[in-house]
Structure 1
Amino acid sequence: MINRRSFLQSTVSASAAAVLLPAAFSRDAQAAIDSLQLFVPANPGGGWDQTARSMEQALKQANLIKGAQVTNVGGAGGAVGLPQFVNQWKGRGNALMVAGMVMVGALITNKSPVKVTQTVPIARLTGEFEVIVVPPNSPFKTLQDLVAAFKADPTKVSWAGGSAGGTDHILAGMVAKAAGGDAKKVAYVAYSGGGPAQAALLGSQVTCGVSGWGEFSEQIKAGKLRALAISADKRQPGIDVPTIKEQGIDVELYNWRGVFAPPGIKDTEKAALIDLMTKMKDSAPWKDQLKTREWTDIFLAGDAYGKYLADEIARIEAILKDLGLA
């Protein structure tokens, strides 16, 4: 039997706990987000790394986090870093991996036992159109010129780009197939990043190059590379380059990038990360980053992003089969 005073004291204590618990959980969640860990399964300097650094800057400037740490683990289009993120970062509610279309293709090509579907999709952030370029002294003045040479003798047209099975390789195969050629005969030369690919182009070691607009834009503007086509659905403001479609080849493609949480996080942590990315997307500092880097905002979050990812994996696998890589 308990007396009235003991009962009232226990009731007051329980009520206080009920009031304090949500506040404590909120503080813990906020503390976790205040210190964000960004995992980049690629070497510094590439598109994923640029995305992570841009996120860090925007989130700090918008006062959405207090600090961030970026960890780079490069190799095989993300196939080296992903197992580490899935296994060693499991359950970290304040962690995000930056990856995208390149990883989807690389995992299929490398027959990786670890899948991106083992992570928790948080948000698709940006899209970047691809551009096909040639050295300034190239005899090819249009994409049709390049395609005609490829169809006449595929061995005499080499395509420089990022990792095998990545976005650049996929676009080369799509163009070859849509133009009536054999995608399996594309002589693709994979480089570890935009820098080595540019060096090969400028040294006339390869016929043409494929990459995101952001990686080649400065060289194009400086006249060091000549753009033949972009993979957009329509002409882009401020970019005087024809689309692939308007040159008679029915192809459009953008290289998307997004963020993923590690497996094993709580539903509340997932919701907090989605909320953080949504607030970042709406912030002025992030919009400035998009404008500066010429990225397109294609934000999609949560379950809708997860469905998009499943559809994208199926689509890319079909394309890679055309290339003989899957």
Structure 2
Amino acid sequence: MELSRRTFLAGALSTTALAATGCAGTVAQPGDLSRLRIMSPASPGGGWDTTARLLQRVIRSTGIARNVQVFNVEGAGGTIGLGQLSRETDDALMMMMGLVMVGAIETNESAVGLADVTPVARLLGEPEIIVAPKSSPYDTLADFVRAWKDDPRGLPIAGGSAGGTDQVLAGLLADAGGVDPKQINYIAYSGGGQSLAALLGNQVAAGISGVGEYGEQVLSGDLKGWAVSSPERSPQVPDVPTIKESGFDLVVSNWRGLMTHPGISEQALTDLIALVQQAHDTDEWREVLSNQGWDDEFLTGADYGRFLADEERRVTQILRDIGLV
């Protein structure tokens, strides 16, 4: 399944590529999408759900479409929803997803992969931040990685669920810093509050999460902010350097995007991309990005397909290096 998925995403997105051309310059008007549905393949209140509902609000408030429903299909890192999408035929249906799903497909041995559905658009990215307790003897990420290389098991790192964005970043950082990814001591917590408590209680040497989870504690001085994973510094924690500034050639974005059902017609896909493009171009969406601290990483068509293929290769390899798949 892996080879066919990569081949599809990298080279066989002809309908998506053609659809993207309709979004260059003047945006094409979408067809009949008066009953748009957006699936959030996770529980209410999480990142995918929040993004879907904010997009719903923008589409409604700007008059792009009035009847927009968001619904939840929970389970297995989004792969339950992915499987449902692969059986759908509704041209007015999109599914919110992101980097976590790429790993979940592998760790859950999902029978359905990204090649079994159709990319619409990448919407945004959320930077990760690497932090430490304020009493940590290491002031910089480079200081920590040097010590981590000598004792990877003795310097535990807190983060979110196994195989998720936080662990992927930990593995990629280990690889970039010459640390054996299989030896790192990653402790998965079910929520940001639990990992934060472990950091504040000096139970772990470092922590990884979205900037929004730890940013307030970094600004207050309760945690040391070592590095953010974005290409540039985050305005939420402007004094925290990037991982690249810290000496490691690594960028990771907890991106989110939209997919639709397989076999969608060229025209229907063009209409969906046009609708999402219109929402993206509004002042209301720019306000959402600013308020949430999200980066605008909008991408459609063949470029989005190639991005997905690259992410799939990178994530699958590091999960193998860690020993999760």
**TM-score, normalised relative to structure 1:** 0.83
Q: What is the CA distance between 1:260 and its match in structure 2? A: 0.5
Q: Tell me the equivalent position of 2:207.
A: 209
Q: What is the CA distance between 1:48 and its match in structure 2? A: 1.4
Q: What is the CA distance between 1:130 and its match in structure 2? A: 1.3
Q: Sort the Cα spacing of 1:74 and 1:139 in 2 relative to 1 into closer, same or farther, 3 A.
A: farther
Q: Tell me the equivalent position of 1:182.
A: 180
Q: Sort the Cα spacing of 1:286 and 1:196 in 2 relative to 1 into closer, same or farther, 3 A.
A: same
Q: Tell me the equivalent position of 2:255.
A: 256
Q: Tell me the equivalent position of 1:8.
A: none
Q: What is the CA distance between 1:237 and its match in structure 2? A: 4.3
Contact 1:126–1:257 (Cα < 8 Å) also in 2? yes
Task: Provide runs of 4+ in structure 1 moved above 6 Å.
Answer: none
Q: What is the CA distance between 1:295 and its match in structure 2? A: 1.1
Q: Tell me the equivalent position of 1:13.
A: none
Larger radius of gyration: 1
Q: Tell me the equivalent position of 1:49.
A: 49
SS at match of 2:153: helix
Moved more, 126-135 or 259-268: 259-268
Q: Sort the Cα spacing of 1:71 and 1:273 in 2 relative to 1 into closer, same or farther, 3 A.
A: same
Query: Within 5 Å, which residues of 2 pair with 1:222-241?
Result: 222-237=220-235, 239-241=238-240
SS at match of 2:130: strand
Report the Cα distance in structure 1 between the residues aligned to 2:129 and 2:224, rounded to whole angstroms.
10
Query: Within 5 Å, which residues of 2 pair with 1:114-263?
Result: 114-237=112-235, 239-263=238-262
Letter in 2 for 1:169: Q
Contact 1:106–1:164 (Cα < 8 Å) also in 2? no
Q: What is the CA distance between 1:281 and its match in structure 2? A: 0.9
**What CA deviation, in whole Å up to 9, does each residue of 1:49-84 have, x standing for no partner?**
221122112112211121322222333322333223
Letter in 2 for 1:144: A
Q: Tell me the equivalent position of 1:267.
A: 266
Q: Tell me the equivalent position of 1:19.
A: none
Report the Cα distance in structure 1 between the residues aligned to 2:38 and 2:166, rounded to whole angstroms.
25
SS at match of 2:59: helix
Question: Structure 1: where are the runs of 5+ without partners?
Answer: 1-27
**What CA deviation, in whole Å up to 9, does each residue of 1:89-140 have, x standing for no partner?**
x012221111111111221222221112211100011112211012334333
**What CA deviation, in whole Å up to 9, does each residue of 1:143-199 have, x standing for no partner?**
133223322222222222223222211111111121111111111122334344334
Bigger RCO of structures 1 and 2 (CA < 8 A, at least 6 apart): 2
Higher percent of residues as helix? 1
SS at match of 1:254: coil
Report the Cα distance in structure 2 between the residues aligned to 1:119 and 1:192, rounded to whole angstroms.
29
Q: Sort the Cα spacing of 1:227 and 1:302 in 2 relative to 1 into closer, same or farther, 3 A.
A: same
Q: What is the CA distance between 1:29 and its match in structure 2? A: 4.3
Answering whether residue 79 of structure 2 is matched by residue 85 of structure 1, we say no
Q: What is the CA distance between 1:255 and its match in structure 2? A: 1.8
Q: Tell me the equivalent position of 2:65.
A: 65
What fraction of aligned residue pairs are identical, expressed as a percent? Answer: 46
Moved more, 195-204 or 122-131: 195-204
Letter in 2 for 1:124: R
Report the Cα distance in structure 2 between the residues aligned to 1:277 and 1:205, rounded to whole angstroms.
44
Report the Cα distance in structure 2 between the residues aligned to 1:50 and 1:151, rounded to whole angstroms.
38
Q: Tell me the equivalent position of 1:37.
A: 37
Report the Cα distance in structure 2 between the residues aligned to 1:320 and 1:247, rounded to whole angstroms.
24
Q: Tell me the equivalent position of 2:75.
A: 75
Report the Cα distance in structure 2 between the residues aligned to 1:50 and 1:218, rounded to whole angstroms.
20
Contact 1:76–1:163 (Cα < 8 Å) also in 2? no
SS at match of 1:97: strand
Q: What is the CA distance between 1:305 and its match in structure 2? A: 1.5
**TM-score, normalised relative to structure 2:** 0.83
Letter in 2 for 1:197: S
Report the Cα distance in structure 1 between the residues aligned to 2:37 and 2:223, rounded to whole angstroms.
37
Q: What is the CA distance between 1:45 and its match in structure 2? A: 2.6
Report the Cα distance in structure 2 between the residues aligned to 1:75 and 1:203, rounded to whole angstroms.
31
Moved more, 46-55 or 141-150: 141-150
